[in-house]
């Protein structure tokens, strides 16, 4: 199966790298608009570059970077495109993908209507089987859904109230802020994240507020969850422990209490790009009071959606019908073990 990745930024480069580690799909190439360092590294790694239009060819030629062809050349050869272009650009490409009868995965920056399904492996893998257009929800929504679908399956979730403390920009971005403020996002809550969760869990009573803070490392979520049934703290921990895509972080044992230390941990573990594909739940924050559960979780925004993109490819191309098997294959290829390993 041949896969094209359109947009080779924060998400696209990671998804392309992950595709290269699968044995049932091939990275056909990537689409780039700028002949920058990322293009240079792609060429060094033997990845074929395609460009959106004739106007880009000259720019690449001037920098001595070989281009294999136009996006349309690639679309006539591939089975599926992972669109990782900036928010709202993916929707503009949809007509082109349709014209070439190529299946497409869109990212969370696109509106849900762009696709037939908003996707999270732990929640609705089966619904993505054979679909033509799927949207892998955003990093924050992926983090929320991994937790909520796991808890819903194990115990039942009735109501969620959450505050999302969002990173201002990705580490590579130099034009975004704030650099000295905490910004209400939006000033009139709720934030869109709860609404987005409902695209996958429509019956859930969820309300989210969000603020943006001057950091680039991770998001941090503070959640108050009303469970359907009484459950002990031990039962909740064991339900979370069973899922490889959720890591419990024992802050006492590791002497860790910040996202900065988590990133340092990823560095010391030798993880590629310091990435945490897993949702990181702060174990010591888990408190149960009757049916009410409180906890704090961290989301590495650059990496968390990568496994779901690979799973979505498998579902849409029917490379694997069983969600557990599909997840297992992706996890194995990316070194996701459910434990703090490299
Ligand atoms: P990015 O800006 O890092 O990467 C986008 C890439 O697409 C860039 O390399 C850009 O040059 C390229 N591009 C721009 N216009 C293009 C065009 N017309 N055709 C082809 N390529 C084009 O963006 P990103 O952070 O990787 O985000 C991509 C998508 O993933 C968005 O929908 C975003 O909301 C979503 N997402 C981002 C994050 C995150 O934290 N960065 C997390 C989850 C989901």
Look at residue 188 and tell me whether its pLDDT is greater than 80: yes
Q: Which residue in this structure is represented by tokens 């603020």?
A: 211
Give the contacts of 275 (CB within 8 A, at least 6 positions apart): 14, 266, 300, 302, 303, 306
Which atom of ligand 1 lies closest to the CA of 106?
32
Q: What is the mean pLDDT of residues 211-238?
A: 98
CATH code for the structural domain at 139-299: 3.30.360.10
* Cα–Cα–Cα angle for 331, 90, 20, rounded to 5 degrees: 30
pLDDT tens per residue across span 91-143: 999 999 999 999 999 999 999 999 999 999 999 999 999 999 999 999 999 99
In percent, how much of the chain has pLDDT > 70?
A: 99
Tell me, yes or no, if 123 is annotated catalytic. Answer: no
Q: Which CATH architecture has domain 2-137+305-334?
A: 3-Layer(aba) Sandwich (3.40)
Cα 90 to averaged position of ligand 1 atoms, centre (Å): 9
Q: Which residues pair with 212 in a beta bridge?
A: 166, 183
- Choosing from 104, 115, 128, 139, the catalytic residue is 139
- Terminal C-alpha separation, the chain: 28
The pLDDT value recorded for residue 283 is 97
- Cβ neighbours, 10 Å, residue 207: 14
Domain extents in the chain: 2-137+305-334, 139-299
Mean residue pLDDT of the chain comes to: 97
The pLDDT value recorded for residue 342 is 58
Instruction: Give the binding-site residues of ligand 1, using a 6 Å CB cut-off.
Output: 6-12, 31, 33-34, 52, 84-87, 89, 107-110, 138-139, 170, 301-302, 305
pLDDT tens per residue across span 48-58: 999 999 999 99
Cα 25 to averaged position of ligand 1 atoms, centre (Å): 22
Render 210-272 in DSSP notation, one character per residue: EEEES-SS-EEEEEEEEESS---HHHHHHHHHT-TTEEEE-HHHHT--SHHHHHHHHHHTT-G
Would you say 141 and 119 are in contact if contact means Cβ atoms under 8 Å apart? no
Residue 214: which of 250, 247, 183 has the closest Cα?
A: 183
Q: In 3-state terms, the chain is what percent helix, strand and coil (to 5)?
A: 40, 25, 40
Q: What is the mean pLDDT of residues 195-222?
A: 98
Cα 13 to averaged position of ligand 1 atoms, centre (Å): 10
Which atom of ligand 1 lies closest to the CA of 139?
43
> What counts of helices (H) and strands (E) characterise the chain?
13, 16
The pLDDT confidence band at residue 340, using thresholds 50, 70 and 90, is: confident
Alpha-carbon gap, residue 81 to 324, rounded angstroms: 24
Look at residue 59 and give its three-state secondary structure. Answer: helix
Render 256-313 in DSSP notation, one character per residue: --SHHHHHHHHHHTT-GGG---SEEEEGGG-EEETTEEEEEEEE-TTTTTHHHHHHHH
pLDDT tens per residue across span 269-326: 999 999 999 999 999 999 999 999 999 999 999 999 999 999 999 999 999 999 999 9
């Amino acid at each position: 199966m041949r896969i094209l990745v359109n947009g080779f930024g924060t998400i696209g480069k990671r998804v392309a790298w992950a595709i290269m580690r699968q044995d049932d799909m091939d990275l056909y190439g990537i689409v780039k608009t700028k002949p920058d360092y990322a293009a240079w590294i792609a060429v060094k790694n033997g990845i074929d570059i395609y460009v959106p239009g004739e106007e880009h060819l000259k720019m690449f030629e001037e920098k001595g970077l070989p281009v294999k062809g136009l996006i349309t050349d690639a679309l006539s050869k591939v089975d599926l495109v992972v669109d990782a272009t900036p928010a709202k650009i993916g929707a503009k490409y949809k007509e082109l993908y349709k014209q070439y009868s190529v299946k497409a995965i869109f990212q969370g920056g696109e509106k849900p209507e762009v696709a037939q399904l908003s996707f999270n492996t732990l929640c609705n893998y089966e619904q993505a089987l054979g679909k033509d257009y799927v949207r892998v929800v955003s990093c924050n929504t992926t983090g929320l859904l991994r937790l909520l679908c796991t808890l819903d399956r194990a115990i039942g979730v009735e109501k969620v109230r959450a505050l999302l403390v969002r990173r201002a920009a990705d580490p590579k971005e130099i034009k975004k802020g704030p650099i000295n403020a905490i910004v209400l996002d939006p000033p009139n809550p709720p934030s869109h994240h709860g609404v987005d969760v409902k695209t996958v869990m429509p019956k859930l009573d969820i309300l989210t507020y969000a603020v943006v803070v001057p950091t680039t490392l991770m998001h941090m979520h503070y959640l108050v969850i009303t469970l359907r049934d009484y459950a002990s703290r031990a039962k909740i921990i064991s339900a979370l422990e069973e899922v490889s895509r959720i890591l419990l972080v024992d802050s006492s044992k590791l002497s860790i209490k910040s996202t900065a230390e988590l990133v340092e941990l990823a560095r010391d573990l030798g993880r590629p790009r310091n990435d945490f594909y897993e949702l990181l739940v702060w174990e010591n924050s888990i408190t149960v009071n009757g049916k009410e559960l409180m906890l704090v979780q961290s989301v590495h925004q650059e990496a968390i959606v990568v496994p779901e993109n690979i799973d979505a490819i498998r579902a849409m191309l029917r490379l694997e019908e069983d969600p557990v098997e599909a997840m297992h294959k992706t996890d194995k290829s990316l070194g996701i073990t459910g434990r703090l390993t490299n």
